């Protein structure tokens, strides 16, 4: 099996993390010899702002104010991680990046440098109302601080303002295979369609 690259994009609450986990399980069964490099931008950023550097302090203050982290930090985090960890012998799954057109264009430079041909972009499409309801449900179960009403509405607004231009960039770029799935279905239904579109099964 050729080395594949998957970029998952979707509004908060669309189920990206769940579908990524199911895809990883599928790939491990289908191609157990090939390692999977999984990059989750939110986890990377949360670890970064725990640090004691000046940049981490400024970034944490911005997050605490409810602001979106600047693109250059997101790009530095994934660039640094890729440079230090990629071997060229793995499948790559990117979850939560890019979050803007600028970041998508820079990630494209990165993908070409690492010779990742024809990455697959998976857009899990859900409505703002769907996103809001799922995040509220998650907040009641997990108690995440950023899942308050204001935080949820800000993330939905950021997606529509900043992330959708990146989605449309991938939709038009023939260097990428673009898959758009209706995320407002059961986990099993979404996963089944994803596998069908990726592997014809």
Domains within the chain, CATH numbers bracketed: 5-199 (3.40.50.300)
- From CA 43, how far away is CA 47, in angstroms rounded? 6
The model's pLDDT over 160-192, given as tens digits with 9 standing for 90+, comes to 999 999 999 999 999 999 999 999 999 999 999
What would the two tokens of residue 180 be? 């758009």
Residues near 163 by Cβ (< 8 Å), separated by ≥ 6?
Answer: 9, 11, 98, 99, 100
The model's pLDDT over 120-167, given as tens digits with 9 standing for 90+, comes to 999 999 999 999 888 888 777 776 666 678 888 888 999 999 999 999
Q: Which residues make beta-bridge pairs with 123?
A: 9, 180
Closest CA to 19 of 2, 1, 38, 35: 38
pLDDT value of position 201: 78
Single pTM value for the model: 0.92
């Amino acid at each position: 099996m050729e080395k594949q690259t998957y970029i998952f994009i979707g509004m908060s609450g669309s189920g990206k993390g769940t579908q990524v986990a199911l895809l990883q399980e599928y790939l491990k069964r289908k191609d157990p010899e090939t390692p999977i490099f999984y990059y989750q931008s939110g986890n990377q950023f949360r670890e970064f702002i725990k640090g004691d550097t000046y940049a981490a302090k400024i970034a944490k203050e911005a997050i605490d104010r409810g602001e979106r982290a600047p693109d250059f930090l997101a790009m530095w985090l994934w660039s640094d991680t890729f440079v230090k960890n990629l071997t060229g012998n793995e499948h790559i799954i990117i979850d939560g990046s890019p979050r803007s057109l600028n970041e998508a264009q820079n990630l494209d430079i990165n993908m070409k440098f690492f010779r990742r041909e024809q990455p697959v972009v998976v857009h899990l499409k859900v409505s703002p109302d769907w996103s809001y309801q799922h995040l509220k449900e998650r907040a009641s179960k997990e108690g995440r601080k950023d899942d308050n009403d204001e935080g949820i509405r800000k993330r939905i607004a950021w997606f529509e303002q900043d992330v959708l231009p990146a989605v449309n960039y991938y939709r038009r770029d023939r260097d990428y295979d673009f898959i758009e799935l209706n995320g407002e279905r059961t986990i099993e239904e979404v996963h089944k369609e994803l596998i069908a579109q990726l592997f014809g099964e």
